[in-house]
Amino acid sequence: MMKFIIFFLLFSIVVEKVVAQDERYYRDLFLKRDDQLDAKKETVYDIRARTPLYQFDLNGDGIKEGIVFEKAGGESNLHIYSHTKKLLRKYSFDVKGKNAGIYKIQLKRLSPISRVMIVHFFEGAQNYTEYNATARLYFISLDKGKLSTLKMFKGPVIWHEFRDGRLNYHRRKYEVGVSDLNSDGFKEILVKFSNLSRVYFYDKGGNWKTF
């Protein structure tokens, strides 16, 4: 239970401003070992934990919607609520290891009619014969201010840490930016590491193109 309390105290939402995450932050926040939990693997509990309702104006109409992050069993879910607390969407994220969860959310305007919620999700860490940990982006788009158009897209990996049995080790942290790269009035999402980069173009209706 202490594991979930620590998770929720560290859970935060960042709106409009990208705050750089250094490598120590990733390791301290997500990659903690839990020896006590490992010692009790023979007992299986159906554990459910939820954050408080975080409220903000998702579609720009001056009325605040809300989100709740939930961990239930082995699942990680995001619930989006209307201002009347009606559930609008429930999205599930792919979990690959221990300590998975959302660690940052950004709201961005892509065009005069389109917005996106960029969800930074730590997929978890595996530490068996090899150590492997990843984080990934998810894009939740919205068009013309209509909450009925909310749609989620699974984006790229932005953090990867790996160590094999021979102690070969690598760690990659990708930079994430939102900018109008081709000056057409529509912003793209750029993910970059060293000389490697991918650009995501929003094509309305929850559809994305990349190269």
pLDDT digits (tens, 9 = 90+) for 103-121: 999 999 999 999 999 999 9
174: nearest Cα among 156, 154, 155, 191? 191
- What value does the CA radius of gyration of the chain take, rounded to a whole number of Å? 18
pLDDT at 29 over 70: no
pLDDT at 48 over 50: yes
Q: Which two tokens stand for residue 109?
A: 């305007």
CB contact at 8 A, 175 and 184: no
* C-alpha dihedral (72, 8, 78, 52), degrees to nearest 10: 110
Q: Which two tokens stand for residue 142?
A: 């919205």
DSSP 38: H
pLDDT value at position 184? 92
Chain centroid offset of residue 183 CA: 28
Strand, helix or coil at 107? strand
What are 201's strand-pairing partners?
Answer: 209
Output phi, psi for 87, to 5 deg: -70, 120
Distance (Å, rounded) from C-alpha 92 to C-alpha 13? Answer: 18
pLDDT value at position 46? 59
Q: Which two tokens stand for residue 204?
A: 């309305």
- First-residue to last-residue Cα distance in the chain: 43
Distance (Å, rounded) from C-alpha 16 to C-alpha 18? Answer: 7
pLDDT digits (tens, 9 = 90+) for 145-201: 999 999 999 999 999 999 987 788 989 999 999 999 999 999 999 999 999 999 999
